[in-house]
Amino acid sequence: MNEIKIFSPATVANVSCGFDVLGFCLETVGDEMIIRKTKEKGVKITKIIGADLPFEAEKNVAGVAALAILKAANADFGVEIEIYKNIKPGSGVGSSSASASGTVFAINELLGSPFNKQQLTAFGMKGEAIASGAEHADNVAPGIFGGFTLVKEVNPLKVVQLPTPSKLYATIIHPQIEIKTSEARSILPKVIPLNKAIKQWANVGSLVSALYDCDYDLIADSLEDFIVEPHRSQLIPHFDEVKKAMLDAGALGGGISGSGPSVFSLCKGKEVAEKVASAIKKVYQPTGIVFDVYVSKINAEGIKII
């Protein structure tokens, strides 16, 4: 194989109670990438469609991720990368991660699949670090593994794959406003009350159990974030109305996707997910803020060859 074309999906990190730990993978939103072997070693980004991103490999998340995996494999070839971005940078659904994780997935295929998913996630994190300033796996892991993932530790990396109940859909609204990462970070408290932390880890535990048992009622009960949402939701216009509309329309629960501005909900079945989409459109249409709404099954497979 000398060339591979892949679909690298959008992902949701910081899933409600599972801040910094739980993520999941989407199916209907994602970038496409073509990666081509070259005789010359090194990484060339030859095309970027849909976003204004650097072509210099060392400054591009895909480029940095590619260099990491090629170096680790001691590859005797280089690559050319074409990126067709559909996930808007800064949307909060893993735009940079999709480029990083798609690249390492594709190059692993070109190499004959020497690396496992944990290793691919680690290479993807090298790319992600260029965009976010820190190595984290919140969005890389769900892209590489598919479905729901729990990042137990970053150093050394330990990703736990969780099951994906088959009727689970997500509805996501991306209000096209900018949230500065620095602000999203600085608004977080450094210390939190122990009693709220206990409620949070009870929810994480019950959410994981509910995913194994396909218990949609328990998923709904568990999707509550006592720690981060009360702070970060202030940065998202009309958050409370959106969340109320989601729940009123039948969503199991929801919250901020990544560090925002996107807001996600999880729903049992496509029909409910589409009702939720209509409901949140009604909230945002009068505001004048430009927005996108996506409905997607949870993608249990992750990145795929197309």
Q: Just list the catalytic residues.
A: 128, 181
Q: Which of residues 13-32 bind its own copies (CB under 8 A)?
A: 17-22
Asked if 49 interacts with its own copies (CB under 8 A), we say no
Q: How far is the CB of 26 from its own copies (least distance, A)?
A: 21
Least gap, CB of 162 to its own copies (angstroms) = 6
Residues 219-258 binding its own copies (CB under 8 A) are: 221-222, 227
To which H or E segment does residue 10 belong?
strand 3-13
State the virtual CA torsion across 119, 263, 175, 246 in degrees, nearest 10.
150
H-helix or E-strand spanning residue 4: strand 3-13
Per residue, the 3-state secondary structure of 161-189, as one string, reads EECCCCCEEEEEEEECCCCCHHHHHHCCC
* Footprint (CB under 8 A) of its own copies, residues 261-280: none
**At a CB cut-off of 8 Å and minimum separation 6, what does 187 contact?**
231, 232, 234, 235
Q: Token digits for 260? A: 């925002």
Q: Cβ closer to its own copies: 41 or 158?
A: 158
51 scored as a contact of its own copies (CB under 8 A)? no
Tell whether residue 198 is a contact of its own copies (CB under 8 A). yes
Query: CB of 249: closest distance to its own copies in angstroms?
Result: 24
Q: Indicate which single residue of 176, 180, 212, 287 sits in contact with its own copies (rule: CB under 8 A).
A: 212
Element (H, E) at 23: strand 22-38
Is residue 192 part of the contact set for its own copies (CB under 8 A)?
yes
Smallest gap from Cβ 40 to its own copies, in A, equals 42
Q: Are strands 157-162 and 304-305 parallel, antiparallel or unpaired?
A: unpaired
Owner of token pair 């190499």: 111
User: Residue from 72, 187, 202, 293 that binds its own copies (CB under 8 A)?
Assistant: 202
Q: What does the chain come to in residues?
A: 306
Cα distance between residue 20 and residue 14, in whole Å:
5
Burial class (CB in 10 A: 0-12, 13-18, 19+), 216: middle
Query: Which among 86-94, 105-113, 191-199, 240-248 is the span making contact with its own copies, rule CB under 8 A?
Result: 191-199
In the set 113, 201, 278, 301, which binds its own copies (CB under 8 A)?
201
Three-state secondary structure call for residue 25: strand
Among 76, 191, 286, 288, binds its own copies (CB under 8 A): 191
Q: How many residues bind its own copies (CB under 8 A)?
A: 39
Going residue by residue from 149 to 168, which x/- string records binding to its own copies, judged by CB under 8 A? -xxxx----x-x-x------
41 neighbors 50 (Cβ within 8 angstroms): no
Give the containing element (helix H, strand E) for 145. helix 140-145
**Residues within the interface to its own copies (CB under 8 A):** 17-22, 150-153, 158, 160, 162, 188-194, 197-210, 212, 218, 221-222, 227
